Structure 1
Amino acid sequence: MQLAYHYIRLNTQMAAGKEGVRIETTLQELTETLCCSTRNVKLILKQMAELGWIDWSPGRGRGNRSLLTFRVGADEIVLQLARRHVMKGNVEEALKQLGGREVRPAVKERFFDWLMNHFGYQVVESEEKQVDTLRMPFYRPIPALDPAFVVRRTESHMVKQIFDTLVRYDAAADTFRPQLAHHWESDAEWKRWTFYLRKGVQFHHGRELTAHDVKRTLERVRDPRVNSPFRWMVADIVNIEVAKNTLLHIELAKPNRLFLHYLASDRLSIVPTELCSEQGERFARYPVGSGPFRLVRNDNTQLVLEAFPAYYQGRAHLDRVEVWVIPDLLARGVQEGVDGYRLAYLPFSRRGEQPSQWKDLEHIETGAKYITFNLNKPGPQQDSRFRKALQLLLDRRKMIADLGGNRLCPAHSFFPAVSGAIEAGESCRKQADPGRLLAEAGYRGETLKLYTYEGSSNEEDACWVQKECQRAGIAIEVTALPIEQLKRRERALEAEMLLAGEVLDEDLQFGIVEMYQTESSFFRYHLSDALREQLDRGIADALREGNRANRLAMLQGLEEVFKREHALLFLYHSRQSSAYDPALKGVALNSLGWVDYKDIWF
């Protein structure tokens, strides 16, 4: 490897990176260029000549200059080095190799074209066996995989592969399926629940999962010292009784018809709590669950899952899943639709296949991009007329046309059908004058801070909003932060406005409640106390409602609480899409825009 670096230095400095260049030089000049001894230079030249990189004709006698011919350009050596790093599984080092200012853009393009052929379905020969591998690029590491703290959709998807829950929600049938519990029942008041667990379920480290693990998992999330943002899910539990290793009873303080929905959430995945205690924060990066795949690697370069042979519902068809971290994906635009949460384009093609042969999956996300207004901080955003003026100033259709990508249609709600109905009536509705509203609100050019979390689509959105507001005389200062920082209450409350996105769980009832109740929710941070209390009362009323259709309507209608006050500015709905090789079977996009690996096969 060091030899290649020496060659790149010589070729770049003495031949401008070109091949076929012959120069006259001396050993003294070469020692100065390579910063090493004459003896080492001779050894280096001999090795380069043996590899066919150079021709070396040493000068005869004192004062005679030698001839050095570069047979390979520096570009080719850079590519060889980068490819060698990749084959060792170190994409990060390969990207560093390509990051030098002397590396031409065309070389980077050649490397990425080569790299893309290593993604998709691969049959890897390993120790005299074939390993069916699905390999994908992603633009960032995935370090936070503790179910009790998962707030991003990509992490949520990986948690579903590594862990299991007591029950599973089947969205297509709108019912619950057995998971770790093979049977369950509740009393007539929906307060006392009984779960019967499967026997012989194993965690990935070999220990059997029992009812005690279920109890300790729920108690861990409920523990205020753990500070899980999902503590609200278990806050009404007053007692958990383990009758035996496969039987437990859970008693609630009040009726909750959505309790099964909570238990089906990946946030309440069952964990071996002794490992959580022993490993601390390390458990989030290297978690141990009981799901169809076990984690074998998770660093800044790769996340690797392997099928868990002892999985109680049958071994996955796929042997291995590799997610390679390639930060340059965003800068190069290789992955259309990569945003702050997920990879929308999954390159499942086999080598040599053309995209025209792939199958497409696409649907509209239930959820929306939005801007919150901080009603807990003094400023122009406290006046509803100012907030309404911004609602009128920002032309969502223009935003979608200007920015493109996966932005699909204007949003006036978290629910696309509601947005569509409102949008259809917008042209007939007489609109107020935003300039007049700003004047009535007393806006005098104060600068408002608009925060968002890092990710190309978020930053594009925020900058677009900033420019549109500037045209109307409204000063906006944009700041993009790591989402881990922005999820902290004190950080979110610094901003007058916050741009974010929400994608609701495929279990829609649960998804709505989760969105409104999770303590680290952005708009929950920014709502006033009065609006937050009104929202909580509405949720409590919905949870008591016995009729499912009525309950869902009540939950969907909760957004009117802050829409009436213009406390939330909806921007647009996005499309989720994927393209994949038709040889890949069992493909279906989940609500997170990913594919569940257990069910796919070639």
Structure 2
Amino acid sequence: MTPFAPPDWAYLDLRAALHARDGERGAHALRLEEAARWWGCSARTARRQLVRLDREGRLSYAPGRGRGHTSRVAFATGLRAELAALTGQLAQAGAAGDLARLSRLPFPRAWVLTDAARSVFGLSATPAGVDRLRTVLTRELTSLDPLHVSATAEAHLLTQVLDGLTRFDPETWTLQPHLAHHWSAAPDRLSWTFHLRKAVAFHHGRTLDAGDVRFTLERLRVGAPWFLPDLRDVAVLGPQTVRLHLARPDAFLPRRLADTQALILPRDVPFDETQPVGTGAFRWTPLDGGLRLTAFDAHFAGRPLIDEVELYRVGQGGHGHVRHYQVDGATDASVDDWQAEVGVQFLIWNGHRPAAQNAALRAALCELHDVSAFWRETGRADPLVPATSFFPRRSARRPSRPRSEARAAALVQQAAYTGPPLRLWVLDLPDPLAEGEWLVRRAARHGLAVELRPYPLAATPDRGDAADLVLLGEVAGGDEHLSFWTALRQPELLFRRLLPPEVLVEVDRELDGYRSAAQTFGDLEAILDRVEALLLGGHHVNLTHHRVKRRAVHPLIRDVFPDVYGRINLKRLWVGERSGPGRGALTAAGARAQEVSGA
């Protein structure tokens, strides 16, 4: 008997847990306490579940004799064959939510995300004529509140649903009008006036007005004061006009208002992370195990070409480097290339821990953390892009300094560290774990004890945690200079949490230069130079490399080019005509945005 129509999740949870513990077997020893823990229930309820599954023929249950004794469960069908049948049935029914939930159980990934299952995720035309893209998320989403969003994927999703007053164009490096069509500053730059477009509709039907802007910016001033630190008040001058009064001049204000934190919310709808409401090109609907973005016909900048985008949470794969954007029903083909991510991988000291006060120890770890040696000794196949700056374009102009184990050994001797083993926190993903394990071994060769601790993305280390060092990465948005300012100012991110207070004072003094009226590209680059020198010169931060990812885009997917984060512009997505009998645009299975390895 198979757990079909609908899936029996209690059965599948049990079978997944037993497989994770014992591997593929026909029979397993089982204690009621284990089953209760896996199901999140009492031992008595767990026993009732087992009796039910036995009665329905899902398994054979032989209870242990007496309290605490081991029971036995046996299965008539092999797990792999059962999963193949189940995924085939779910795929035929188009049950994307059930397939996504199944993939999150600890079954072998290849047994669940079969070709049949993957075929459910793609761009297709429904019988009702709706063009729909189904794609996947390989991790749980973190905060979706614009005040606190700190991850690239979450920010990208929010910008599909919410709009800002202004918009930064990364292709031209210019600021563009968006919800505000014009703005101006007073001669003393202590006030800025923004004029809003008329007849901009929110998803719930009301039109945007100045009161919504005031509501959003007041919410921002209270909830994230670091973002607009000198905003005194927001005045409504008319239905479509708003004026911001500042305590100090800030020429960078309009550019800041293009960032995720300042996306405009309606004043009459309480913010809900599970279903944000805005004026954006897509409306958000929660789904079981995912979410749907539906094209908003009344979007002021034009309706998206696609009708719906569904995203489902699937099991975590490897932290790999390949993302494919293909077309179902068409011959496999792609424009294939490696891209360096606009961001950086780094090692940072927790400046609030005793070990971080030892300057020679900081320098020794920096010398030991030779990313070229890591690549060479572990035989990595992906290209290495060493980092000497936060951004690849800047690193390309600065040759990396060769590291030396001899210098590292001398610095370890000079540090004379006699404290407990250093605690190195790394993301619980294959690539960071491999790098952390390599660094632990390398440090041990020089008598320096380092302990590795994996942690999930949602549990970003804080200054009070028992972490001496943290290995992580920071990914920029489209506006690199604003992203750099945000990375060093946002309380949710590591730099603000872990850098020593005296270093932050110097960093803030330099970042204050963003307010200056002279904001040429060169001016902002000079600020970036000085801040990087502060962080790297004291070995508080060691920049290692820029992560690269491989993109494969089918030529039939038109006007869509994955950016350096692998994101595609959902508003512009469409598929050109395919040649051959019966192959009109979007009339067959469509295009598939497939995240192959969980990158």
Listed one character per residue, the Cα deviations across residues 173-201 of structure 1 (whole Å, up to 9, x for unaligned) are 22222211111111233332111111111
AA at the equivalent of 1:305:
L
How far the C-alpha of 1:447 sits from its partner, in A, is: 0.5
AA at the equivalent of 1:265:
D
Of Structure 1 and Structure 2, the greater helix share is in: 1
CA 1:232 to 1:143, structure 2 compared with 1: closer, same or farther past 3 Å?
closer
Are 1:369 and 2:377 an aligned pair?
no
Are 1:456 and 2:430 an aligned pair?
yes
AA at the equivalent of 2:264:
I
| CA–CA separation in structure 2 for the residues paired with 1:395 and 1:345 | 28
Partner of 1:345: 323
Matches within 5 A, 1:254-333: 254-276=248-270, 283-299=272-288, 301-330=289-318
The higher relative CO (CA closer than 8 Å, separation ≥ 6) is in: 2
CA 1:550 to 1:351, structure 2 compared with 1: closer, same or farther past 3 Å?
same
How far the C-alpha of 1:217 sits from its partner, in A, is: 0.6
Partner of 2:221: 222
Partner of 1:157: 156
Which of 97, 103, 114 lines up with 1:95 in the alignment? 103
Partner of 1:211: 210
Partner of 1:567: 540
| CA–CA separation in structure 2 for the residues paired with 1:326 and 1:436 | 48
How far the C-alpha of 1:302 sits from its partner, in A, is: 2.0
How far the C-alpha of 1:160 sits from its partner, in A, is: 1.1
Contact in 2 for aligned 1:445/1:474 (Cα 8 Å): no
Which ranges in structure 1 are unaligned for 5 or more consecutive residues?
A: 10-15, 18-31, 45-69, 100-104, 338-343
Are 1:481 and 2:430 an aligned pair?
no
Partner of 1:551: 523
CA 1:98 to 1:521, structure 2 compared with 1: closer, same or farther past 3 Å?
closer
| CA–CA separation in structure 2 for the residues paired with 1:358 and 1:96 | 29
Contact in 2 for aligned 1:222/1:234 (Cα 8 Å): yes
How far the C-alpha of 1:399 sits from its partner, in A, is: 2.0
CA 1:220 to 1:420, structure 2 compared with 1: closer, same or farther past 3 Å?
same
Between the aligned residues of both structures, percent identity stands at 27
Partner of 2:83: 78
- SS, match of residue 325 in structure 2: coil
Partner of 2:481: 509
Contact in 1 for aligned 2:104/2:316 (Cα 8 Å): no
| CA–CA separation in structure 2 for the residues paired with 1:178 and 1:245 | 18
Give the TM-score, by structure 1 length.
Answer: 0.78
| CA–CA separation in structure 2 for the residues paired with 1:498 and 1:436 | 23
Are 1:589 and 2:562 an aligned pair?
yes
AA at the equivalent of 2:275:
Y
AA at the equivalent of 1:152:
A
Report how many residues are paired.
515
Contact in 2 for aligned 1:349/1:358 (Cα 8 Å): no
Partner of 2:44: none
- SS, match of residue 437 in structure 1: helix
How far the C-alpha of 1:550 sits from its partner, in A, is: 3.7
Contact in 2 for aligned 1:193/1:251 (Cα 8 Å): yes
- SS, match of residue 574 in structure 2: coil
Contact in 2 for aligned 1:136/1:347 (Cα 8 Å): no
Higher mean displacement: 261-270 or 108-117: 108-117
Partner of 1:185: 184
AA at the equivalent of 2:477:
D
| CA–CA separation in structure 2 for the residues paired with 1:132 and 1:423 | 48
| CA–CA separation in structure 1 for the residues paired with 2:390 and 2:105 | 44
AA at the equivalent of 1:556:
L
| CA–CA separation in structure 2 for the residues paired with 1:286 and 1:518 | 24
How far the C-alpha of 1:203 sits from its partner, in A, is: 1.5
Contact in 2 for aligned 1:143/1:284 (Cα 8 Å): no
| CA–CA separation in structure 2 for the residues paired with 1:459 and 1:267 | 31
CA 1:235 to 1:438, structure 2 compared with 1: closer, same or farther past 3 Å?
same
Listed one character per residue, the Cα deviations across residues 103-130 of structure 1 (whole Å, up to 9, x for unaligned) are xx6x9448523222333322222xxx21
Contact in 1 for aligned 2:191/2:244 (Cα 8 Å): yes
- SS, match of residue 132 in structure 2: strand
Contact in 2 for aligned 1:183/1:195 (Cα 8 Å): yes
CA 1:572 to 1:145, structure 2 compared with 1: closer, same or farther past 3 Å?
same
Aligned-pair RMSD on alpha carbons?
3.2
Listed one character per residue, the Cα deviations across residues 3-33 of structure 1 (whole Å, up to 9, x for unaligned) are 7699999xxxxxx98xxxxxxxxxxxxxx99
Are 1:523 and 2:530 an aligned pair?
no
Partner of 2:240: 246
| CA–CA separation in structure 2 for the residues paired with 1:247 and 1:95 | 49
- SS, match of residue 172 in structure 2: coil
Matches within 5 A, 1:376-395: 376-379=352-355, 381-395=356-370
Between Structure 1 and Structure 2, whose CA radius of gyration is higher?
Answer: 1
Which of 434, 438, 452 lines up with 2:412 in the alignment? 438
Which of 320, 329, 335 lines up with 1:359 in the alignment? 335
